[in-house]
Amino acid sequence: MNVSLNWLKEYIDLDQSPEKIGEILTDIGLEVEGMQEVESIKGGMRGIVIGYVKECGKHPNADRLSLTKVDVGNGEDLQIVCGANNIAAGQKVLVATVGTTLYTAEGEAWTIKKGKIRGEVSQGMICSEDEVGLGNDHSGIVVLPDHLSIGTPASEYYNIKNDYVYEIGLTPNRSDATNHIGVARDLAAYLKINENNHSSIKLPSIDSFKIDNHDLDLDIVVENEEACPRYSGLSIQGITIKESPDWLKVKLTAIGVRPISNIVDITNFVLHELGQPLHAFDLDQIKDRKVIVKTLPAGSPFTTLDEVERKLSAEDLMICNGESEGMCIGGVFGGIGTGVKDSTKNIFLEAAHFNAKWIRRSSMRHNLRTDAAKVFEKGSDPNLTVYALKRAALLIQELAGGKIASDIVDLYPNPIKPVEVTIRYARINRLIGEDIPVTTVKSILDALDMEILEETESSLRITVPTNKADVLREVDVIEEILRIYGYNKVPIPNYIHTAISVGTYPDNNDVRNNLGDYLVANGFYEMMAVALSESRYYTELLPEVLDANKLIYVNNTSNIHLDIMRPDMLISGLEAILRNQNRQQNNIKLFEFGHIYQYAEEEKIMEEARLSVFMAGNRYNQTWLNHGKEESSNYYSLKTFVEHILDKIGINNYQKSPTESPLFSYGLNYHRGPKSVVEFGQVTPSILKQLSIKGEVFYADFNWKVLMKGAINNIVSVEELNKYPSTRRDLALVIDNSVKFDDIASIAKKTGKKLIKEINLFDIYENEEQLGKGKKSYSVSFTFEDFTKTLSVKEVDKVMNRLIQEYEQKLNANIRR
């Protein structure tokens, strides 16, 4: 939210520096994220002075141009060529002298230079309204009153003052500070308590408000009182739509609001002044002169002011006409049919208090984050609507003419009263950590307009103003007291409390950090995705991946597309890979520690911790060492890291099975009985295609709970180097393509028992002509060792012969001799 210092000064006397005001705002919980000096008019009219046209004649070489002599008060008349048709001798005008910088409507700067126009020297420019930033009129030069002194800077005449605008990071609980008067109230309270400044807030007067006639009375019906507890409105006839005056445009522009027209600008002005959103309808477009506040059936079409047709939800509160046709999404955005246009003559002005939850959901549902919706979703003041209507109506009469043509209709069946809260002095001092005098507490409450209803020796019963929608409990009031008292006044204690805690072994964080360090050292980057995902991935794009009944839906009003808890780690990683690929980062190695969520049996929610690892693109980035020899990441690249992770954890006793998950086109499942330790392999290409991911992706999904159980038994053992020599023997086996290396290794371990220490596959040969169809040749080495003696040739041969026999019988292998 942007707050203008000049605007604040209209409601409270402030003599502090802009920097000091920024510090105070931060002290009272309105965190200033930035402050900038803003020129009320681009360029501040520097170099522009009031001049007197002494002579005005036709340009000798151009009929449409005038040749003038202008006195700008420096003792030397300037010859200026002017193209305006309203220029005349004897006028007081605005003159941009040589060297002055002006700005186009798009904000581009250009400089006045001495030059020749159609052969005549021109020493400046006589300006129109749009050329100096006063408006959009370019029909002629600005003609000023005769009494003005020649040479007076234009900035003095127009009272051009630079403003300071604070960017405030407004938290959701500060419904009272969504507007300038709300911020001014906080400033006044702080200054009263901390700087003995007793300036009171100067509210705009509405005393002159009166009803002129009843020509445009409307019938108003509120059908949904839960969504709309209060609805107020009035009619104004005979207005003129035109450009807003400079003072209003300057105020809005300073806080980043684009001026549109006088009526729209007034509603925006009142919103940012009082915190009450308003909406103006073209009254002549309201059918049957009736307004109905209701919901419409789900799927009803409605075209908003941005000319987009939207499908309504049954929970969108609508402002409808007498035929129940939508005119506005209540509190969010207006409709194209009843919006104020240049031809509008009569308006119906709405000021309502809407239910914050209803507005928040509609705003997020349709992705319409309007200023009005942001105020309503924090909680507007239900008792401000009529005052805001009168304030806006008077401004409209001042800037657009017109008459008040109806009574103020105010439907408020269940008035919202100030909340009553009991606060205890002991509780205040305990939570704040400082003994605040009772008199100070009462002064702060008075400064915050919190009336004391009842007082005892130990407590106070107070009322909370209705503009503080989030202040409902004792602790909330104590927070308000602390804000005004001053956070910096609370002393920092000079002692600390500690407690000895004993953690379980192994420590979860230690194991995570250990594995994370290993992966980072090998070129991986840790990613952190949100635990939310989109249901459409599993219901539309990839229905075969997961049973949709296992999805856990959430009511996410902030980001409605993220509507489920993620059921796996894959989609989060693929989204990260796609984001990187879209930014020309193709060699990707990522890992994430996270959780997945699914419905298990009997609708119990299952939450499991996971470690996911992803590889895509080349295994290594291109360098001078591997130029032209880039190695793509592949299944075996990932398998290496998977097995290293298991080694670091201390898990080595597991079974291996082909993965049956539809997430993988091929891969393995390392498991202990029915419990999977890790599944890994190549991600199914059809999944990648649905997400527009290029190339292959390899993915490993570790069950963290099983990993941690393995880590409990991870005992590091140390043994001396064997002083007896080892012996190596090689075998070349011609086997069926269906035989895996694990089958060969498993037989070797059972046969060789304690003597075979290492089994290694060092070559694969495939040649259908030489080996036969469906055959392949594995070259396998076997390393023999005995820690008690040197193995004899006879002992080694005995084991090798048994191995050959086992391979021939169980694997139908042919030993190449």
Intervals of the chain under pLDDT 70: 40, 626-630, 712-716, 817
Measured over the CA atoms of residue 633, residue 635, residue 638 and residue 643, the dihedral's sign is negative
Residue 50: what pLDDT? 95
> Residue with structure tokens 């690929």?
581
Of the candidates 573, 578, 706, 589, the one whose C-alpha atom is nearest the C-alpha of residue 641 is 589
Tokens linked to 296 = 């419409």
The partner residues of 37 in beta bridges, in order of sequence, read 164
Q: Which stretches does DSSP call E strand in 209-297? A: 219-222, 230-237, 278-282, 290-295
Angle between helical axes of 180-194 and 262-274 (0-180°, round to 10): 30
Measure the CA–CA gap between 175 and 185, rounded to whole angstroms: 13
Residue 711 exposed, middle or buried by CB count within 10 Å (0-12, 13-18, 19+):
buried
Residue 418 exposed, middle or buried by CB count within 10 Å (0-12, 13-18, 19+):
middle
The phi, psi pair for 579, rounded to 5°, reads -60, -40
Of the candidates 524, 567, 542, the one whose C-alpha atom is nearest the C-alpha of residue 689 is 542
Of the candidates 97, 62, 102, 67, the one whose C-alpha atom is nearest the C-alpha of residue 81 is 67
Measure the CA–CA gap between 702 and 594, rounded to whole angstroms: 11
Residue 317: what pLDDT? 96
Per-residue pLDDT tens over the stretch 493-547: 787 778 887 777 788 888 999 999 999 999 999 999 999 999 988 888 778 778 8
Residue 219: what pLDDT? 95
Q: Which amino acid is at 108?
A: E
Radius of gyration over every alpha carbon of the chain, rounded to an integer in angstroms: 39
Residue 721: what pLDDT? 87
- Count of alpha carbons within 13 Å of 419, Cβ hemisphere only? 17
Per-residue pLDDT tens over the stretch 186-202: 999 999 999 888 878 99
Measure the CA–CA gap between 611 and 593, rounded to whole angstroms: 5
pTM over 0.75: no
The phi, psi pair for 84, rounded to 5°, reads -75, 145
Tokens linked to 278 = 């308003």
Per-residue pLDDT tens over the stretch 730-773: 999 999 988 988 889 889 989 988 899 999 988 888 888 888 89
Residue 630: what pLDDT? 67
